[in-house]
Chain A
Amino acid sequence: MTSTLPLANWDPMAQFGADAHSVRDPHPELARRRREQPIAPRAAWGEGGKAVSGYELYRYDDCAAVLRDNETFSSESIRANMEMVMGPYPLVGMDEPDHKRLRSLVAQAFRQKTLAHFEDDLVVPVVDEMIDGFVDRGEAELVREMTYRYPVQVIAVILGLPRDDYERFHAWASAIISVGAQPMEGVKASAELRGYLEGVLADRRAHPREDLVSELASTELDGERLGDEELYSFVRLLLPAGAETTYRATGNLLFGLLSEPPQFDAVRADRSHLTAAVEEAIRWEPPLLITSRVAAKDAEVAGTPIPAGTQIIPNIGSANRDETRWDDAETFNLFREAKPVISFGVGPHMCLGMHLARMEMRAAVNRLLDRCPNLRFDPAAVTRDDPHIHGETFRSPTTLPVRFDVVA
């Protein structure tokens, strides 16, 4: 067993310590690089943690071009880093033709239409249970009491895990997500979770239900099925890909809205603005700023020759604030003209879970607005705790202290 600490005792800031002491706000430096140094050398690690040469990219067009060209720029660099905890088939780190085959098999479960019933049946009850915990108090700290907790539970619900296993599942999830900070814990949790999933899969093969494990076990495309190891890899990948990112992105959305009361009021008055608010939040502060590729052959990027084997790190957080594409790019403004962003990546690996993530973020804010009237930052706590969006690889609020009216 990994830790069996009650969920409430997990401290997200301590857990994601890898970023806690890093740069508070990388954006001024990223803006300088977009202007003066659009491609810069950067330390990178390949197979087995071996140092390799790498470059980071900062402009939108350069980042998008690399992410779209999956023949020149392979995702092998991600696989090399993830295999230890994700097993042999991490979709995010695979190249063609294996990637397309596997993605097509799992994609059906993540389509917008499949997800339509998820919102009311699965996501809203999870969100409501979190809100139940503080709704009578008139105040809350939304990172620890809500945003940090609900996405893992949504995944547990979607997978169809028994309720009694949620705490254990969250402990494994947390250890797997923090593998960078504590590798041994992460590897151990990954092996334990794989063992646990064997039992779940065997049960669903014998007694299929309406849940994701049953669906993944039975899904078939052109006579092909998902292998057991592929399924275990995929489910483990959902944790960093689906839980951590959504936790951070929901925090950033709430931080943006709480910091801009007129925009928050507009959303309150007309919930249809929430779609634009989600898009703007992920543009302004994507939860994960960087991804990586490795040049499969000699190439040229941003006017610089790139020898095969060099890692390329597109900085998505920088690309999304490219001032040649957006006016006043550094500010959160949900009323700006809609344009595609690359927070979910772009190209053949574009985030499979983007529709689920958007829906979860909308559901979280919608239920907060439904149940916590006059939701606002707690001014005393803001002065005392200095809430801010923190980090340079992963970014999310340190804390979200709020007050609201208690409905009698």
Chain B
Amino acid sequence: MLRIEIDPEKCMGSGNCSFWAPATFDLGEDGIAYVLDPEGDDEDKILLAGQGCPTQAIAIWRDDQRIV
């Protein structure tokens, strides 16, 4: 299982993550992304969301290894 962290200071609310993995990420009322369900989408979509973050606000770990 993946562990996902979003840095709210870096996030600029592009919505890129929720485009790629809409069941995993969402934007709050404040326009900042948060994790809805760390297993909401296929892993490749979650990784795509993480890699595609325009401000590199998303960090993803598998076990203890950081993969994004």
Contact = CB atoms under 8 A, between A and B. Distances in A.
Interface of A: 68, 100, 103-104, 107-108, 111-113, 338-340, 345-348, 350, 352, 354-355, 358
Given A68-B56, A350-B14, A107 B31 contact: yes
Given A104-B13, A112-B15, A355-B15, A347 B31 contact: no
B13 A347 contact: no
Nearest to A222: B30
Contacts of A348: 12, 54-55
Given A339-B48, A350-B16, A68 B54 contact: yes
Interface of B: 12-16, 18-19, 22, 27, 31, 44, 48, 51-52, 54-56
B66 to A, nearest CB: 18
Nearest to B45: A338
A103 B12 contact: yes
A113 B25 CA distance: 13
Contact of A346 (B18, B27, B44, B54): B54
Contacts of B16: 350, 354
A339 B15 CA distance: 16
Contacts of A111: 13, 15, 27, 31
Contacts of B22: 112
Contacts of A345: 54
Given A100-B12, A338-B48, A68 B18 contact: no
B67 to A, nearest CB: 15
30 contacts: A68-B54, A68-B55, A68-B56, A100-B12, A104-B13, A104-B31, A107-B31, A108-B31, A111-B15, A111-B31, A112-B15, A112-B18, A112-B19, A113-B27, A338-B48, A339-B48, A339-B51, A340-B48, A345-B54, A347-B54, A348-B12, A348-B55, A350-B12, A350-B14, A350-B16, A350-B54, A354-B16, A354-B19, A355-B15, A358-B19
Contacts of A112: 15, 18-19, 22
Q: Give the 9 A-B CB pairs with smallest separation, nearest first.
A: A340-B52, A350-B54, A346-B54, A350-B14, A348-B12, A112-B15, A107-B13, A347-B54, A107-B31
A100 B10 CA distance: 11
A140 to B, nearest CB: 31
B22 to A, nearest CB: 8
Contacts of A346: 54
Nearest to B29: A108
A68 B16 CA distance: 15
B45 to A, nearest CB: 8
B1 to A, nearest CB: 22
A100 B11 CA distance: 11
A393 to B, nearest CB: 23
A103 B12 CA distance: 9
Contacts of B44: 338
Given A111-B27, A347-B55, A350-B14, 17 more contacts: A100-B12, A103-B12, A104-B31, A107-B13, A107-B31, A108-B31, A111-B13, A111-B15, A112-B15, A112-B19, A113-B27, A340-B51, A350-B12, A350-B54, A352-B14, A354-B14, A355-B15
Nearest to B12: A348
A68 B55 CA distance: 7
A350 B54 CA distance: 7
Nearest to A105: B31
A54 B14 CA distance: 29
Contacts of B48: 338-340
Nearest to B32: A104
A348 B53 CA distance: 10
A347 B52 CA distance: 10
